[in-house]
């Protein structure tokens, strides 16, 4: 029975035996030991609610809030207009449940429909679902959409976000699907050897735009090569970059996925976020999760309903292509409000400011002896540089002046700049890094 919780020790033991486990801790063997807790530190047992709140607040105050964030790699510090919090904070949305009963869920259904519409406009696709958990699960769900009986090999560009790669591998492991890594050259996919690199059983290729190193891929050329091999192309998008770059749909992609966190969702120390998925009309019946459609009611008025339900997992059961049983409706609402408020012009301005400020910082950093760009290709707002000193020194120095540094990676540091970074903060970054290097 769904949601059933064993209530006695005998029942719990039976459940563990059925799973081939001896202890409930065996359920967490894949979770790193460093993040597992036997008890909540700093909170004693048997204390009052007031004492517990005081202890929790003390722990929360240990978190550092940086005025300037120069780290991206999947979570981005974009400005969020105040109206996003105002609308999304209304209790009608915060407390809303699954909108199965359309006659009492028109507000939630319309908010999802508008979100889907804007995602389609942003990605150049024909249909969008009502969102999934995050960008990584969206990429994995997209790769599973492409599987066929004679095509069960998923290719993933090795310059995609490592967390996305691991999530795709996890999905594939559970379905006996083979995952092959596609090697990049000088930070990007080598289009000249792409077609020969794909086997005849290739179902799809997942590529990130811009990729993990911030570089811009030649999506149109990649799409041609992938389609020549009879496979599908999935493009994982950074939505803000689409304010400047051509949409994946216009460049020939079959599926567009990505993380909607830059669209009005706070960084939240890494979550929660929302994963968007959109595809061409030909693949809409393979699209997992919910889709809200527009129709007319008995009086001829505009109305919204969940549509294409016959392909949903709660009806198809073991034949379903996905096990997504929920969607991030509140996060999707935030993204929808953000896109509506920003509009095409606002999103383009945010993208252009991010681009310009990133290139300014890159130029200034490379004036420091020992720092240079790792890759020469065009980039959006993320870029990788070498470092003449240990990355920890740079992190520590910038931390002291209220700046979160770029992400330390093998061979240097991955920097990210959004529209929120001021010129003063970028100049202070350069000055601080120069001082750390000279020491």
Q: Does 197 map to a domain?
A: yes
**What does the block give as tokens for 398?**
């910038």
Those residues with Cβ within 8 angstroms of residue 131's Cβ, 6 or more apart along the chain or in another chain: 112, 115, 260, 274, 275, 276, 277, 289, 327, 328, 329, 331, 332, 335
Q: What is the largest CA-CA distance in the chain?
A: 76
Pair type for strands 232-237 and 255-259: parallel
- Note down the domain range covering 410: 68-78+344-438
Indicate whether 109 and 194 sit together in one domain.
yes
Give yes or no: residues 150 and 295 share one domain: yes
Rounded to two decimals, the pTM is 0.89
Q: Which residue has the tokens 């029942």?
A: 11
Q: Is residue 201 part of a domain?
A: yes
Same domain assignment for residues 313 and 362:
no
Q: Which residues pair with 178 in a beta bridge?
A: 153
Peptide bond preceding 80 in cis form (omega within 30 of 0): no
Looking at the domain assignment, is residue 4 inside a domain? no
In Å, how far are 23, 25, 31, 270, 312 from 36, measured between CA atoms? Answer: 15, 10, 7, 18, 35
302 and 370 co-located in one domain: no
Domain boundary among 272, 304, 338: 338
Beta strands in 195-274 (DSSP E): 202-209, 232-237, 255-259
- For residues 144 and 173, the answer to whether their CB atoms sit within 8 Å is no
Q: Which DSSP state fits 379? A: B
Counting the structural domains of the chain, the total is: 2
Give the CA count within 13 Å in the CB-facing half-sphere of 120. Answer: 17
Residues 403, 70 contacting (CB under 8 angstroms): yes
291 DSSP β-pair partners = 307
Half-sphere exposure of 306 (CA within 13 A, CB side): 19
Q: Give the pLDDT of the chain (439 residues) as one tens digit per residue.
A: 344 455 567 788 888 888 888 888 888 888 888 888 877 776 788 899 999 899 889 988 988 899 999 999 999 999 999 999 999 999 888 887 778 788 888 999 999 999 999 999 999 999 999 989 999 999 999 999 999 989 999 999 999 999 999 999 999 998 889 999 999 999 999 999 999 999 999 999 999 999 999 999 999 999 999 999 999 999 999 999 999 999 999 999 999 999 999 999 999 988 889 999 999 999 998 898 889 999 999 899 999 998 886 545 556 666 666 766 666 889 999 999 999 999 999 999 999 999 999 999 999 999 999 999 999 999 999 999 999 999 999 999 999 999 999 999 988 999 999 999 999 999 999 999 999 999 8
């Amino acid at each position: 029975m769904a949601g059933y919780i064993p209530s006695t020790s005998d029942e719990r033991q039976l459940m563990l035996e059925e799973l081939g486990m001896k202890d409930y801790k065996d359920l967490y063997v894949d979770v790193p030991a460093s993040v597992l807790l036997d008890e909540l530190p700093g909170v004693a047992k048997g204390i009052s609610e007031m004492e517990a709140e005081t202890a929790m607040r003390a722990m929360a105050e240990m978190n550092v809030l940086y005025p300037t964030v120069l780290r991206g790699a999947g979570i981005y510090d974009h400005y969020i207009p105040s109206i996003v919090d105002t609308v999304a904070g209304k209790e009608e949305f915060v407390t809303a449940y699954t909108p199965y009963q359309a006659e009492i869920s028109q507000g939630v259904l319309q908010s999802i429909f508008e979100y889907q519409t804007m995602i389609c406009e942003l990605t150049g696709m024909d249909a969008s679902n009502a969102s999934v958990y995050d960008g990584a699960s969206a990429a994995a769900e997209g790769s599973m959409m492409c599987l066929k009986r004679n095509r069960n090999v998923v290719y993933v560009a090795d310059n995609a976000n490592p967390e996305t790669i691991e999530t795709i591998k996890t999905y594939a492991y559970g379905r006996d699907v083979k995952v092959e890594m596609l090697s990049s050259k000088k930070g990007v996919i080598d289009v000249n050897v792409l077609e020969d690199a794909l086997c005849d059983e290739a179902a799809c290729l997942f590529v990130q735009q811009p990729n993990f190193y911030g570089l811009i891929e030649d999506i149109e050329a990649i799409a041609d090569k992938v389609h020549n091999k009879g496979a599908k192309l999935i493009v994982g998008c950074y939505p803000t970059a689409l304010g400047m770059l051509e949409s994946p749909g216009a460049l020939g992609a079959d599926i567009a996925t990505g993380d909607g966190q830059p669209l009005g969702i706070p960084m939240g120390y890494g979550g929660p976020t929302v994963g968007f998925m959109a595809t061409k009309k030909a693949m809409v019946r393979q699209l997992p999760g919910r889709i809200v459609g527009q129709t007319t009611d008995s009086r001829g008025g505009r109305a919204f309903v969940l549509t294409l339900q016959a392909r949903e997992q709660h009806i198809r059961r073991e034949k379903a292509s996905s096990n997504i049983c929920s969607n991030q409706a509140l996060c999707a609402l935030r993204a929808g409000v953000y896109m509506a408020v920003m509009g095409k012009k606002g999103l383009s301005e945010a993208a252009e400011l991010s681009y310009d400020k990133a290139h300014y910082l890159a130029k200034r950093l490379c004036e420091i002896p020992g720092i240079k760009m790792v890759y020469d290709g065009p980039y959006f707002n993320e870029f990788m540089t070498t470092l003449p000193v240990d990355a920890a020194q740079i992190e520590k120095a910038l931390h002291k002046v209220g700046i979160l540094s770029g992400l330390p990676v093998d061979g240097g540091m991955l920097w990210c700049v959004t529209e929120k970074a001021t010129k003063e903060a970028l100049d202070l970054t350069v000055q601080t890094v120069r001082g750390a290097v000279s020491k």
